[in-house]
């Protein structure tokens, strides 16, 4: 069992910059880290990242890069250069399915770009298995194999459901980051997620960061929903 409290990441899974700014304003006192995924980034591009950085927030850029090594390395360089002053993005994701060379090139590119841009190198996280995937008997070993590959290639952690987090933590140690999506407060609907978990369960399994989207952003009172989850995490 983890001996610390994991951090909450709110996924800004909305269609417009206007909606995103509204949520950032409402949640800003309670939430430090916000996720920008393909939905919002496609809609409004880097402007939302820079808005968050100007607001003093940490950005989890979740674009799940997966392409030939050179293309992904250049994408990571571009992501590192999304900055405001000395503050750059906090973390970003790559698909481990891209293979060893792609992951290593991305890691090297992140280090080089951060040094050149004079920002802290973002945490690089490998995507293992999506939480919308059906659970199979072998998925734990599949996720562990992908996590080992990520670490060997210089990544800082993985994105994995809490159902695999304990296994990853056991084999890869305390310093390897685990980000867990599919978080739902007790009694909430699963939506399209197949492998969900409550905040307290994810904490017990060793997750470092818990990603919550719809239960907060679609709530009648997003701030109260976020505070409810933070309270559950603090138990």
Annotated catalytic sites, by residue?
64
Contact by Cβ (8 Å): 7, 207? no
CA-closest candidate to residue 159, choices 221, 68, 96? 96
Residue 136 backbone dihedrals phi, psi, to 5 degrees:
-120, 160
Q: Token digits for 157?
A: 């952690």
Spell out a b/e string for 105-138, using b for 16 or more CB atoms within 10 Å of the CB, else e. Answer: bbbebbeebbeebebebbbbbbbbbebeeeeeee
């Amino acid at each position: 069992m983890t001996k610390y409290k994991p951090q909450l990441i709110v996924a800004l899974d909305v269609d417009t910059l206007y909606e995103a700014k509204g949520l950032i304003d409402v949640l800003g006192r309670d939430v430090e880290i916000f996720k920008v995924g393909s939905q919002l980034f496609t809609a409004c591009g880097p402007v939302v990242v820079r808005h968050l950085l100007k607001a003093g927030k940490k950005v989890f850029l979740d674009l799940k890069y997966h392409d030939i090594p050179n293309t992904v390395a250049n994408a990571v360089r571009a992501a590192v250069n999304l900055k405001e002053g000395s503050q750059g993005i906090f973390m970003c994701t790559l698909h481990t399915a891209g293979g060893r060379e792609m992951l290593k090139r991305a890691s090297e590119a992140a280090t080089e770009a951060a040094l050149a841009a004079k920002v802290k190198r973002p945490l690089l996280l490998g995507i293992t298995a999506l939480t919308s995937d059906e659970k199979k008997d072998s998925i734990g070993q599949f996720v562990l194999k992908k996590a080992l590959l990520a670490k060997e290639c210089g990544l800082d952690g993985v994105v994995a459901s809490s159902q695999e987090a304990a296994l990853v933590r056991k084999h890869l140690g305390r310093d390897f980051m685990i980000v867990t999506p599919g978080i739902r407060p007790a009694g909430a609907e699963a939506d399209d997620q197949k492998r969900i978990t409550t905040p307290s369960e994810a904490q017990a399994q060793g997750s470092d960061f818990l990603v919550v989207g719809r239960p907060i952003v679609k709530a009648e009172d997003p701030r109260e929903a976020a505070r409810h989850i933070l309270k559950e995490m603090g138990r």
